[in-house]
Structure 1
């Protein structure tokens, strides 16, 4: 909002700091100054007034009061000295009816007769221009001037253009009615724009219809022009919420509506109307009628807030004496009552609508005192680390392991449709139905993470040739407590890839004794019908099943719209948490080179790779640093019922470089151990 430097200076006898210095003071103590601009012999100061201070600081008077408190200069507010006519009274010219006190808590009116319309004086025009308003005539300029000075919007009517009293009555006074518009009523604004009104819009009307859109815009019918001789001044306090809604509904925002939307001091109407009457009498030669017509619903009681000086010191972290605190508040218009040792009751000025709590009062003291004068002190507190949440801790560990293996975490809905439940083999006795579900696609809570992971594969298969996704989340089964599951889906013939990733995940969680039971595997958390019978296995740690692994049958993939093979692992994460451990066995990295040998073993098709691996590692002893299965081959060239397993063996010693003779000896020992089984053949 733009303010005139010369106008602000008019509230003080002493010279104010230069505009740049004043801007710095305002920024440090109240509002940020966005721009200072030279305009003729004046300066336009653009101040970013915060919404909670609109009631008093959307006006020069409010900013001047703040400057007085900051600079310790004496503030001289306008004190209207109005000479009123002894012959005429406002109540003889106009009566006011407010239909709903909630819409308009106060409506003040005053009449000025014998006005002469002309240009306003140059000093007034200059101040209006600096603030961005266009001078119109002395009457309109005077009410705009008072709005910028006090913050109270006013409106001036040509009283003679309002509807005369009905002939059947003896009344001579014109009647002003504050009421809601009737549906379909229309009004032509001062700019000549027509608006259709309804019951949501508050109007100022006479006996013939609306004159003004209350708090927003004046109407053309009672416009002040060069022929106006009797002016009716209006200063009111309209409901902020109603004004805001009306402004938005009509798409009409004005300087007046901006102020009414934020709320105004109900006591401001009388000061503003007296000030406007004084200016009009001085610059338009008018004669002010005695008194005012004041429709006032109820006088607002003064707000009182207790200020505890000890609490203020604790909150600010600095001691400001009670004398200095009271001095600051006095400059801001606060009064005091009920003073006791260590505390005082502050009486909040009516224009400070933002002050409600003790903290609000303490903030006033602090900002005028200067936050820069409060020494920064590190807070003292006992920092107690929270107890570890194992769900979060092990969840993060698992996520990181899978992400390092190239999988992408996804978050899917916790619901599935009836059709998807049928595809996955679930009946209604297994499912938890959602009450008042948003759609048929969200009819049931998900009993497994697998259906939605398959949907993720289906949606991404057109964009990606390789898909690797996983999810950690809750599943829901009827009559079974909800539990955390960890599932992943990999596209392609990826059974062994998924198996390797599961093994790496479980080792990363510190879970030992991992093996895969491929003999008549039966999943605990899903239906057997969705798994490929020759490519699935129970994942076990010791004797306990912790999950299931396998490829999804083509029938399910086709019904889900998936055109590529998919392997899935489904792990009971709550079981994994109980088995997981942070204990690791470390051994030093050998500084001596390693040697690599490959070994192929021809075995029966039902032989597990783990059986062969165990014999290799037992026979090789400590010098076998690592063994990896890198190929499985089943082809026509092999004998019936046989498969070929290819292993890569890494030999390394911790205290010397192994010779070829040592490596050959160990390698042959492994071959002999393998061939002790008559059905196994080491292929050299």
Structure 2
């Protein structure tokens, strides 16, 4: 630290402990691997010369050269690496030239300090791999000849060949380096260009993205706006009975828990925008979380719209997705976990496809009149992917009759539909629940279910007498239950 040196070209440099030097017991003599010092310079009066040859670590030389801002031929050579086994040959060559050209005499033998001798390494060369990599088959004899001419020693006669790399070839480290040398000498011009052969295979269809985009387009056509919300929330109270999924390192207390439902954030969106817009229809497709599971949901909220308007959108969605056998069962506190507190019991319905419950639709317990739906995206996707059985449309007209029945509040729509379906037989092609009502005009302890019944045959036009008889069979079957009453 603090030492100085003047180089052969009279430049002065301040030295640091990071710069490697050659020195005697008193002062630095040269900057190792970069430039010699002025002190030991040879001039016309020099009688005795001490020859020193060394090999240095490339990283140390580069660091010293950059630190001093000094680039020389020597530093460039050492930075790129020099064969350490050339050191002895170099000093012997210098001594020979001094003796021959300057009539010098050697005083004594050399002193050699070589703590870690570097030996030639061996590389396995697979001839088949060389053929595949170069794209051309070179005879084995030619490969051996090329390697020998490049001063590589080929050991063995069987594939793979063992090739000994001279220590002077610091650039040969892996089989690919050897193959490159073979190709370079053999001639790349001898490689015949061939178009690569590859089969064009379309990427596997991502059903999640396909159906998500399909649903988004349908909802946008229906006037809904897509919403994007964070997957985090502050309050864990809406979490399911399985427990809230808590974030280990939340960015803030506002984002401490993973959302167990899409509904709370959508309600916040409504609250922020309802004063500006009289009517709002928004939806979101995203993941919800518990402490053990996660799944994708499709949820929407509408402000300023009634139940049947939103139901019409859901019907449109199922129709465009090609999902049949969709029906609505009256809600009886069956939604899971936190969802129980969201829905008005007498103004909500379960959405079912066959026997599969896919979600809920109804008014929310909120100060504002909000209608919402909450659908399981995975179930919806599975239903949309199912092969649909084709059934030709009848060319004969259909007849529609309405029927209303009073039932106890605990009676599920499914029970009534089953009775009507069995009694109607094959000529009843569809039964659609269009109203569930309790209140004024309905006896206490009962609710009114209203249905559209569609009659149609594939081979003829049904007469009014035929329709009347089937309709009466349905009424008779319903009234066999003493707690049910068909309204007439």
Smaller-chain TM-score bracket? 0.5 to 0.7
Does 1:403 pair with 2:222? no
Corresponding residue for residue 520 of structure 1: 332
Residue pair 1:531, 1:550 contacting (<8 A) in 2 also: yes
Which residue, 237, 243, 248 being the options, matches 2:56?
237
Corresponding residue for residue 3 of structure 2: none
Residue pair 1:397, 1:509 contacting (<8 A) in 2 also: no
What displacement does 1:585 show?
1.9
Residue pair 1:431, 1:476 contacting (<8 A) in 2 also: yes
Q: TM-score normalized by structure 1?
A: 0.44
RMSD of aligned alpha carbons: 7.0
Consecutive unaligned residues in structure 2, runs of 5 or more: 1-5, 97-101, 221-225, 479-484
Distance in 2 between the 1:652 and 1:247 partners?
95
1:210-359 equivalence runs, <5 A = 237-240=56-59, 265-266=83-84, 297-313=115-131, 318-337=136-155, 339-359=156-176
Consecutive unaligned residues in structure 1, runs of 5 or more: 1-155, 163-186, 190-196, 279-285, 556-562, 657-661
What displacement does 1:537 show?
3.3
Does 1:569 pair with 2:374? yes
> Alignment length, in residue pairs?
439
Residue pair 1:450, 1:568 contacting (<8 A) in 2 also: no
Would the alpha carbon gap of residues 565 and 622 (structure 1) be closer, same or farther in structure 2, given more than 3 Å must change?
A: same
Residue pair 2:266, 2:300 contacting (<8 A) in 1 also: no
Corresponding residue for residue 184 of structure 1: none
What displacement does 1:405 show?
1.9
Residue pair 1:433, 1:445 contacting (<8 A) in 2 also: yes
What displacement does 1:336 show?
2.1
Does 1:583 pair with 2:397? no
Deviations along 1:510-560, one digit per CA (max 9) or x if unpaired, are 7654433333233225342244545543333455544444565548xxxxx
What displacement does 1:342 show?
3.7
Residue pair 1:604, 1:680 contacting (<8 A) in 2 also: yes
Which residue, 537, 541, 547 being the options, matches 2:349?
537
Would the alpha carbon gap of residues 161 and 581 (structure 1) be closer, same or farther in structure 2, given more than 3 Å must change?
A: closer
Corresponding residue for residue 166 of structure 1: none
What displacement does 1:622 show?
8.3
Q: TM-score normalized by structure 2?
A: 0.57
Distance in 2 between the 1:669 and 1:533 partners?
35
Distance in 1 between the 2:257 and 2:133 partners?
49
Residue pair 1:303, 1:348 contacting (<8 A) in 2 also: yes
Does 1:450 pair with 2:450? no
Would the alpha carbon gap of residues 265 and 513 (structure 1) be closer, same or farther in structure 2, given more than 3 Å must change?
A: farther
Corresponding residue for residue 482 of structure 2: none
Distance in 2 between the 1:287 and 1:457 partners?
98
Distance in 2 between the 1:409 and 1:222 partners?
77
Would the alpha carbon gap of residues 398 and 223 (structure 1) be closer, same or farther in structure 2, given more than 3 Å must change?
A: farther
The answer to which structure, 1 or 2, has the higher relative contact order (CA under 8 A, 6+ apart) is 1
Give the number of the structure whose residues are more often strand, by fraction. 1
Residue pair 1:548, 1:569 contacting (<8 A) in 2 also: yes
What displacement does 1:571 show?
1.7
Distance in 1 between the 2:284 and 2:317 partners?
14
Distance in 1 between the 2:293 and 2:268 partners?
22
